[in-house]
Structure 1
Amino acid sequence: MAEDEINYASVVFKSNKNPPSDDKKEEETVCDEVKVQHKTSEQSADTKEFSQDSDKKDEETVYDEVKVQHKTSEQSADTKGFSQDSDKIHEETRRPHCQCLACCLGILCVILLSGIIAMMVHLALKQTCDASELKQLKDNLTALLDVKDNLTNRNQQLSSENEELNRNYSNLQVQYENLTQAYSVLERNITNLTAQNQELESQRDNLTQQIKDMETKWKDDNVTRAQWSIDQYCPKDNNGRTCEACQQQWYNNQSSCYAVNNAERSNQKTWEEAREDCRGKNSDLAVIVNEAQKKFTTDNSWKQAGISGYWIGLKVEDGRWKWVDGTNLTNDLWIEPPVNGRCATSLQSQGWKSVNCADKNAWICGKKPLSV
């Protein structure tokens, strides 16, 4: 298809004569579109082809500016003829121009419709995408809220643990201070105990030395005591030594030796004091086991001024009369019934009596005789 060429031309029509002044009119300029075909024989075919392929080819239009000068009533016939021809040409060129506009409008409508459809599709897709994204955001928000709740709970738990640790730390601090004080006390105690230990060691050494000294003295005393015993049990006389079963100033009766201590009232003792005196003589208060010994001690319990009785080794313990050797009194007729806190005394011609152990009296000591 041949391409159309459109050229612009400017045509001015003027009269040859000057019109009268009263017939003057303003000059008018008419601009018409003039489509000039290079080939007249192809006009109709080109027009159809233009309407079909208007989107493929661009038209080139040349606008001819036709400037018509209004003339006086004396306008020539040639000018009128040209005007009629110009209208005809204008009518012929206007038709394809309208077709072109209609085609352009159609294309614009199609483009607009396509744009609207594309926009609707885009909006629909965007709405779907937005809905999906909104759902995803909601899910993410829910997950984040769960995470927030978990973190809040964890934070509260950690806060509780922190408070518990702080309390434990405070308690441990107090315990540490207490232990530090206790350690200081123990150190002082160790120092004191060390000093005491040294003092005890010194005392031990002193006691050891005292024991050695006492052993030496005991040996010497044993020799002295042996010599004393020999002198007491075997006194010297003109014929040499004669040994007796009881030492001097002791009375022998059957299987016992008795010493009668008839002390004055100022030197008399309680039952316990009298027993201690007998123990100092390697004996004890007299123990009577039969009637013969009872008669002997009673007969030797002399009545003197200031003496109301002589202590013997009989005392009430746990509601019973007991001897100092732990045996019970076998004959309850010898003395009154037992009363706690009472001890027995013997007195010549009066027999045995139950008196308060705190009273002061004379006393009789007894021990076993020496085997000769």
Structure 2
Amino acid sequence: MNTNTQQGTVTFKKPNASLSAEKVEEAVYATVAVRTVDKMPVTLDKKSPSFTQSVPTIAVSWVVLLVIVGLHIYFTSVISENNNKLNEEILNLTTRNQELETRNQELETQKQELEKRNQEHEKRNQELEKERNNLTEKIQNIQTEWNELNITRTQWSIDSYCPKKSNPRQCKACEEGWLIEQSSCYVIFDAQPPGQRNWEGAREDCRGKISDLAVVVNEQEKKYIIEHSWGSSGDKGYWIGLRAEDGRWKWVDGRNLTESSWIQQPAINGQCVISVENRGWKSASCSDRNRWICKKAALSV
């Protein structure tokens, strides 16, 4: 752009498109200022035609300048506001991204914990399966042993109740060595002192013979037990299945003694009952060593 004035010529090149807005505004401002200076007459005579013509031009230039400045302020404000919004959005997105990353880490941790628990459960299931297999095997072994024992007991029972002394065999209601009275079988262990036992030991021996210490149910049986308490006297007799529990005399089958006349001594814990020949029943310390009488049901033949 060329401008010819009375003072000289000022040349302005077209601004580069890549220049910033501020530089463009400076160039425009300089152009307007030069134009204003160039158009001002040397003379200050307001009546001259050149002065009258230059006033509108100056006013237009100032208006243009004000518009440019206003636009600059406006766009600067808009750009600043947009930048603030963008920065706020970026901050929000950054915060949201951090929250998502944190949540993702928490989920990953939970996933690892679940995988660990699943592994532990799988291991425990394997252990339980192994234990179940072992128990199944043990049960099968026990069942086999039980069957074999039943066969052995059956054969023992046959040999005991039906001895091979005659052909064919002749079966009895009680096995050999046992005495029968009514529907029961009795065995009288009249062991000498070295072989005598306390009450618990005597009961254990009876149980080993598939019986228990004698339980008396009526007066007739009581008389039978006393009569068969062979060789006993004084404080030495035969253990029967009666002992003191919680201040009461109780049989080994769980029944309480209902005939209080059968024994006169009070039921004191730690005391058991012995049968003495021709004397009746007496209480004695369960730890004493005595003979004993076992009883079981007779076989129906």
TM bin (shorter chain): 0.5 to 0.7
Specify the SS of the correspondent of 2:274.
strand
Equivalent residue number for residue 366 of structure 1: 295
TM-score using structure 1 length: 0.53
Verify: 1:186 aligned to 2:123, yes or no.
yes
Verify: 1:339 aligned to 2:278, yes or no.
no
Equivalent residue number for residue 202 of structure 2: 274
Instruction: State the shift of 1:268 in Å.
Output: 1.7
- Selected match of 1:175 from 92, 113, 122: 113
Instruction: State the shift of 1:286 in Å.
Output: 0.8
Give the 3 Å change call, closer, same or farther, for CA 302–203 of structure 1 in structure 2.
closer
Equivalent residue number for residue 59 of structure 2: 120
Count of residues paired in the alignment = 255
Equivalent residue number for residue 250 of structure 1: 178
Distance 2:195 2:155 in 1: 31
Equivalent residue number for residue 299 of structure 1: 227
Distance 1:156 1:333 in 2: 96
Q: What is the percent sequence identity of the aligned residues?
A: 33
Gaps of 5+ in 1: 1-104
Specify the SS of the correspondent of 1:339.
coil
Instruction: State the shift of 1:289 in Å.
Output: 1.4
| RMSD of aligned Cα (Å) | 4.4
Specify the SS of the correspondent of 1:115.
helix
Instruction: State the shift of 1:287 in Å.
Output: 1.0
Instruction: State the shift of 1:363 in Å.
Output: 0.5
Instruction: State the shift of 1:342 in Å.
Output: 3.3
Letter in 2 for 1:218: I
Distance 2:170 2:146 in 1: 37
Q: Tell me which of the two structures has the higher relative contact order, counting C-alpha pairs closer than 8 angstroms and 6 or more residues apart.
A: 2
Structure 1 contact 342–357 (Cα < 8 Å) conserved: yes
Equivalent residue number for residue 217 of structure 2: 289
Distance 1:319 1:109 in 2: 149
Equivalent residue number for residue 229 of structure 1: 161
Q: How does 1:119-158 map to 2 (within 5 A)?
A: 119-158=58-97
Equivalent residue number for residue 353 of structure 1: 282
Give the 3 Å change call, closer, same or farther, for CA 367–186 of structure 1 in structure 2.
closer
Structure 2 contact 161–172 (Cα < 8 Å) conserved: no
284-293 or 304-313: which moved more? 304-313
Instruction: State the shift of 1:135 in Å.
Output: 2.8
Larger radius of gyration: 1
Instruction: State the shift of 1:276 in Å.
Output: 2.9
Specify the SS of the correspondent of 1:327.
coil
Instruction: State the shift of 1:313 in Å.
Output: 1.2
Distance 1:326 1:191 in 2: 43
Write the deviation string for residues 306-361 of structure 1: whole angstroms up to 9, x where unpaired: 98221111133454322222322111232333333432222224432333434332
Distance 2:248 2:282 in 1: 15
Instruction: State the shift of 1:290 in Å.
Output: 1.8
Letter in 1 for 2:225: T
